[in-house]
Amino acid sequence: MVLPMAYAQVMMTGKILDATTSQPIEGVTVSTSNKQINTISDKNGNFLLSTKSTGDSVFFTAVGYTSKGMAATGAKLLISLTPQFANLNEVVVTAGREVQRRTEVPVAINVISKTTINDTKATRLDMLMNKVPGVYMVDLGNEQHEMSVRQPMGTRNLFLYLEDGIPIRTVGDFNHNALIEINQASMQRIEVVKGPASSLYGSEAVGGAINFITQSPTPFLTGKIQGEMGSKGYKRTDFALSNTYKKLGFFVGGYYANQNQPDNEHNNFNKTAVTLRADYHFNDRLRLSTVADYISYKTDQKGGLDSAHFYNKEYTSFYRFTYRKVNTLRLRSTLTKEWDENNTTSFTVFYRDATIGQNPFYYISNIASNPLKAKGQVNEDAFHSYGSVLQHITKLKAINARFVSGISVDFSPATYMAQFIDIDRDTNKVYYSYTVKDSLLTNYGVDLLNTAAYTQFEYNPTDKLKLVAAARYDRLDYQFDNHLLPDAYTGAPDATNHFDHFTPKLGLTYDFGKNKGAYLNYSLGFAPPDITDLYTGVQVPTLMPSSYNNYEAGGWVSFAAGNGYAEVSLYNLEGKNEIVSVRLADGSYQNQNAGRTSHKGIEANIKYAPTEDINIRLSGAYAAHRYVEYAEQGKDYAGHTMAQAPPLIYNSEITYKPHYFKGFRIAAEVQGMNKYFTDPQNTATYKGFTLFNIRAGYNIKGVELWANCLNVTDKVFATVVEKSAYGTSYRPGQLRTLNIGVAYNFRNQ
């Protein structure tokens, strides 16, 4: 007689997390080996699976992650999945203000992942940003920078910097060094949208929008403490701590960095950055997230070098007192309500307090009658912001569509004050001391009011085709109050100015199947004049807002059985009244409207993992930036290539993580650009550069050791070169530098 077998049901429960960020993963398929029993993890990463016996094999699979299998057990599990290197379907939020797969959005968007952030151990943001094809963040020393994304290198207000979707500075008071106000120790990932994103995020999102996503609280206790030092006097300490207790989760993280170099190099700096985030879940459908950022920063302003000093590696600065100081406090709180599975409302309120004080080298000018004297200024730019954003998302499942709509208000009273200084100069042309005079050069206040409404409609008429239509209306009101009598130095008379703009976008994506797809995109960008451009040192405001028409196409393909992917974007960006930075004969800068400009290019990114141990990334962009209509000081530059616009920029990397030596990594990176014109006349060029960096690290039981060697060949290079009637200025890049560090990471799970 044969007795029937008795099977005991095994209930498997647990939580599935990202191995790098410790964040829950939604949508993971949990299944038995025969695929007859399966379930999906919820938005908190939780799952429940019933199997026949403990002998069953259970598998965890998710798009963008390496699958994992294990034997069934009755214990509650904590499963960590490792992100794949060649992941075509990364999750993004910036393109549509909600979580989407990157292949679903008709824009050029790249993600700098937590893995990349952890492995790079960047001491400056440009070390991360320049890995993105088509992006060149110019290192001006000690986290100072300017930006190039589908634009020449420069300081123009054509880029929007966001933290969790909220601009870190108010529109109308742009600062090209704004990313000093980012806490590098608080980043979970970075999303880079290239091309105009004005239809969702407003003016200044022309060349691109860069969104820094703050680290979310972890579901259990995690922490980190690390220290590093460099051969050029750089020292830094980072810390982080996160946990969730019942309904409340928190994250706190930050760093302190400083650098000390010889006095004649005038290149010291220090920075303190701290971020605190608290998430409270009232229930499954109502949550409150609050973030506070504090930044305190001061650096010497080194300035540029002439060709003789630059090529001889004589990096002695001509300045002994120039500086930049930044103090920033940002508070943001977002209440999110999910009414049902089809409707979600969020309401964000925010406050900003930012002050930038400086004694800038670029405002120093010599006195012809006395070579031992010069003049300059100390100034301070400050603003407070009070604002809110109300947004609602509706999903129309019956027609496979969704709406994103919102309104925003940002009121930012701003002030600007500048004092004249008398400067002493020695026979070696070194500006060594200064005296602040009683006279004020500039002293004004501006009430900035930015109101906007936006909407985006997404529709899938078929499973393969997605259509996107978006529109935004912005109005910017400037109420200018000059506290001095207006003249050519003190600024314009009291005035009320306003700019408004309607910015549409149309796009589509098409899925050809087998991980191949393409997109088309038309978008409009808009950038108003900055308050310092409008009112500082001018008698009557003359600048007009800039507008840009963008035509774009792109595509992607996965290959090598999913171990590789390639993506490409082609764009044609046409600018009207573009504001360009012009260096005048006395060495100072002034922004002027160019008539029309043309920006055309192609960007490509390839990732390939030929084995489980080796990852290869090839990234680059080729572009042409030209004046279509532009005259400066009576000279016509139509047809000329724009200055500081290298046609080719590239950054590629190969990483080796041997499976037989778990925890070890080593990577070699190449970065560079080719020859470009340094003046709008196209009479002078800089040859460009190619750099090599090597990074290595080892992680064992939570202890991580690393060493980064930057500019391995000790290449003499300039991060940017500018020529004017005043001369040619080289901003020296960092010579060979070795950084070493140690970190301890812990988690109590």
DSSP annotation string for 337-397: EEEETTEEEEEEEEEEEEEEEEE-GGG-EEETTEEEEEEEEEEEEEEEEEEEEEEEEEEET
Which pLDDT belongs to residue 204? Answer: 81
Q: For residue 749, is pLDDT > 80?
A: no
Alpha-carbon distance of 602 to 220, in angstroms, equals: 44
pLDDT tens-place string over residues 564-618: 999 999 999 999 887 666 655 555 556 677 789 999 999 999 999 999 899 999 9
Give the number of other CB atoms < 10 A from CB of residue 264: 12
Around 87, how many Cα atoms within 13 Å sit in the side-chain half-sphere?
Answer: 20
CB 354 within 8 A of CB 328: yes
Query: What's the per-residue H, E or C state across 485-528?
Result: CCECCCECCCEEEEEEEEEEEEEEEEECCCCEEEEEEEEEEEEC
The residue assigned the tokens 């879940």 is 281
Measured CA distances, 355 to 73, 328, 410, 590 (Å) = 57, 6, 18, 22
Residue 110 structure tokens: 């790249």
Alpha-carbon distance of 570 to 107, in angstroms, equals: 11
* Final residue belonging to a domain, choices 46, 81, 116: 81
477 and 620 fall within a common domain: yes
Q: What integer best gives the mean pLDDT of the chain?
A: 90
Does residue 577 lie within any of the structural domains?
yes
Does residue 505 lie within any of the structural domains?
yes
The conformation of residue 216, written as its DSSP 8-state character, comes to: P
Which pLDDT belongs to residue 627? Answer: 93
Say what percent of the chain tops pLDDT 70: 94
Residue 52 structure tokens: 């026949």
Listed ranges 285-294, 430-439, 573-582; the one with the highest mean pLDDT:
285-294
Q: CATH code at 742?
A: 2.40.170.20
Q: For residue 6, is pLDDT > 50?
A: no
Nearest to 116 by CA among 569, 557, 697: 697
DSSP annotation string for 242-254: EEEETTEEEEEEE
The conformation of residue 67, written as its DSSP 8-state character, comes to: -
pLDDT tens-place string over residues 141-155: 999 999 999 999 998
pLDDT tens-place string over residues 16-47: 888 888 888 888 888 877 666 678 888 888 88
Q: For residue 5, is pLDDT > 50?
A: no
Residue 605 structure tokens: 């990114």
Average of per-residue pLDDT across 705-726: 94
Does residue 537 lie within any of the structural domains?
yes
Which pLDDT belongs to residue 584? Answer: 57
pLDDT tens-place string over residues 635-685: 888 999 999 999 999 999 999 999 999 999 999 999 999 999 999 999 999
Does residue 95 lie within any of the structural domains?
no
- b/e sequence 76-103, b meaning 16+ C-beta within 10 Å: ebebbbebbbbbbbbbbebbbbbebebb
Alpha-carbon distance of 575 to 595, in angstroms, equals: 8
Alpha-carbon distance of 45 to 721, in angstroms, equals: 50
Residue 273 structure tokens: 């950055």
Q: CATH code at 37?
A: 2.60.40.1120
Q: For residue 96, is pLDDT > 50?
A: yes
Which pLDDT belongs to residue 604? Answer: 97
Please give the residue range of the domain that contains residue 21: 10-81
Q: Which residue has the higher pLDDT, 203 or 230?
A: 230
Which pLDDT belongs to residue 71? Answer: 75
Which pLDDT belongs to residue 54? Answer: 58
Nearest to 430 by CA among 523, 318, 507, 562: 318
Residue 593 structure tokens: 């409207």
Query: What is the distance, to the nearest Å, from the Cα of residue 264 to the centroid of all Cα atoms in its chain?
Result: 33
Lowest mean pLDDT, pick from 156-170, 201-215, 481-495, 530-544: 530-544
Average of per-residue pLDDT across 422-431: 93
Does residue 729 lie within any of the structural domains?
yes
Q: For residue 497, is pLDDT > 70?
A: yes
Q: For residue 94, is pLDDT > 90?
A: no
Nearest to 141 by CA among 304, 279, 363: 304
382 and 527 fall within a common domain: yes
CB 72 within 8 A of CB 54: yes
* Final residue belonging to a domain, choices 56, 81, 106: 81
Q: Which residue has the higher pLDDT, 394 or 585?
A: 394
* Final residue belonging to a domain, choices 62, 81, 100: 81
- b/e sequence 138-157, b meaning 16+ C-beta within 10 Å: bbbbbbbbbbbbbbbbbbbb
pLDDT tens-place string over residues 314-358: 888 999 999 999 999 999 999 999 999 999 999 999 999 999 999
Which pLDDT belongs to residue 590? Answer: 62
Average of per-residue pLDDT across 457-480: 94
Query: What's the per-residue H, E or C state across 620-670?
Result: EEEEEEEEEECEECCEECCCCECCCCCCEEEEEEEEECCCCCCCEEEEEEE
Does residue 154 lie within any of the structural domains?
no
- What are the beta bridge partners of residue 499? 476
Alpha-carbon distance of 602 to 588, in angstroms, equals: 34
CB 218 within 8 A of CB 277: no
Q: For residue 540, is pLDDT > 60?
A: no
The residue assigned the tokens 């440009």 is 126
Residue 489 structure tokens: 């130095």
Which pLDDT belongs to residue 608? Answer: 95
Confidence band for 4, pLDDT divided at 50, 70 and 90: very low
Which pLDDT belongs to residue 87? Answer: 78
| Max CA pair span of the chain | 118
Number of domain units in the chain: 2
Does residue 694 lie within any of the structural domains?
yes
Alpha-carbon distance of 629 to 642, in angstroms, equals: 12
Does residue 456 lie within any of the structural domains?
yes
Say what percent of the chain tops pLDDT 90: 66
